[in-house]
Structure formats: C-alpha cells, structure tokens
Amino acid sequence: GAVVSQHPSWVICKSGTSVKIECRSLDFQATTMFWYRQFPKQSLMLMATSNEGSKATYEQGVEKDKFLINHASLTLSTLTVTSAHPEDSSFYICSALDGGLSDTQYFGPGTRLTVL
Amino acid sequence: AQTVTQSQPEMSVQEAETVTLSCTYDTSENNYYLFWYKQPPSRQMILVIRQEAYKQQNATENRFSVNFQKAAKSFSLKISDSQLGDTAMYFCAFMKLGSGSGAGSYQLTFGKGTKLSVIP
C-alpha cells in the first residue's frame, strides 16, 4: 500500500516552454501533497504544499507564477514549470500525506527535468 | 522552526555487520513524529521507520530499529545484519503535527543526509 506515482520520470525541453509533472496517490486519498526540489548530493528542499480544493502554499523564495500547482482531486496534484530556463533543471519529487492512517508522507519516484 | 542535524556525512559498514546513524533535532513542539527515509541510487525516497514522539517504546522494523531519546532530542537508526541493498543516502526527518492546516503542520524538515555504503 501507500504507493505514489509521478509522471514523467524524465523530461527534456527547450528553454521557454512549459512542462507539467503529475503526482498521483494510487491506493489512498491525499488531501495534502508536497513538492520538493533536490539538487545533486543535497537534501530535499520543500517548494510548496498542495491542498486539495485550495491554493497551494509556497515556501519563501519559490516563484508561484513559475511553479504552478493544481491539486484537482484527492489523488492528483500537478506541478507546471512555466517558461522553463536552464536554471530550472533539477530533480523534482512529490509526496502525498496519508493523513487517514499514518500521518506519513509517501514519495513518488521523482522527475528529472533538463532544460536546454 | 525545527532543525535536524545529521553529523555523519558518510559511513561504511561491512556486510552482515551493524551500523548506527546519528540524528539530533531541535524543536519546541511537543507533538511530532520522526522518520528515517532512505534514498538509493534510483533516487526513490523510501520510508524506513517512523516514531511517534508520545511513544516511549522505540520503533522497530525487521533489521531496522531506532534509539529515541526525547529529552536529549536524539533519534538514531540502527541497521543490523547490513545488506548490499542497504547502500543508500539516509535522511532523518521531523514532522510537526497539528490540527487542521496549521502553518507547517505535516511538513517534513530533513537533515542533510548520511551516505551509507555497505561493503561486501
């Protein structure tokens, strides 16, 4: 149980284009999901908290207009990187909070974004 | 704000031996959980073990156990009978609990990680 999928697993795009990443909780409902960014050999950096049916809460320094988050249902949150630039290249990871049973975050496998 | 400190950037252990990873944290909260996650080379974050702060009994999951010292704010992970598949980055994490959508509730604060290598 407690499986979270993330799609795509990797994406390469041209500078200036937008990229959408999907995060799904497959076997539980998640009213809260989280988006992280991870640089090589570093820990996870929280970007935003996504709540179903409401606006996402962004961490300080994260541009909400660049990283659009939509939590459309209890099992799906999306992160759209708008007008991507090479400095947005990174590893993006989502997690879903299993608040019903364990108050534990379960993580997706991550998405490697490369912007050319 | 909470902080999590992992003082061992890298460790190694012989296969079948036991190793302990250290973690200390700082918080003024009384209601929280602590976690250990592992991130193997695939970069998938995998839950290893969870400890509720209100529980005095240390959590165990098969070969993995913790030594939770609440007063000392220490939360170490012991891996027994180490296996090659245990090679990974290990992150200690703190989660503040709260009612409703209180600021910061259910967010994870991570340490910087400990890279564990299991040597055949």
Summarize the confidence of residues A92-116 as an average pLDDT. 92
Q: Is A103's CB within 8 Å of B43's CB?
A: no
Chain A positions touching B43 (Cβ under 8 A) are 38, 91, 93, 109-110
Taking the C-alpha atoms of residue A38 and residue A19, their distance in angstroms, rounded to an integer, is 17
Residue B104 to chain A, least CA–CA distance (Å): 9
- Average pLDDT over chain A reads 94
- Average pLDDT over chain B reads 94
Task: Report pLDDT for B103.
Answer: 58
Q: What's the gap between Cα B110 and its chain centre?
A: 9
Residue A36 has which token pair? 């992280």
List phi, psi (to 5°) of A4. Answer: -125, 130
List phi, psi (to 5°) of A83. Answer: 45, 60
Task: Report pLDDT for B102.
Answer: 54
Residue B86 to chain A, least CA–CA distance (Å): 18
Residue B101 pLDDT > 60? no
Residue B49 pLDDT > 70? yes
Q: Is B106's CB within 8 Å of A91's CB?
A: no
Residue A52 pLDDT > 90? no
Taking the C-alpha atoms of residue B84 and residue B82, their distance in angstroms, rounded to an integer, is 7
The SS3 assignment for B85 reads helix
The tens digit of pLDDT for each residue in A2-27 reads 899 999 999 999 999 999 999 999 99
Task: Report pLDDT for B99.
Answer: 56
What single letter denotes the amino acid at residue B37? Y
**Max Cα-Cα span within chain A:** 42
Q: How confident is the model at residue A38 (pLDDT cuts 50, 70, 90)?
A: very high
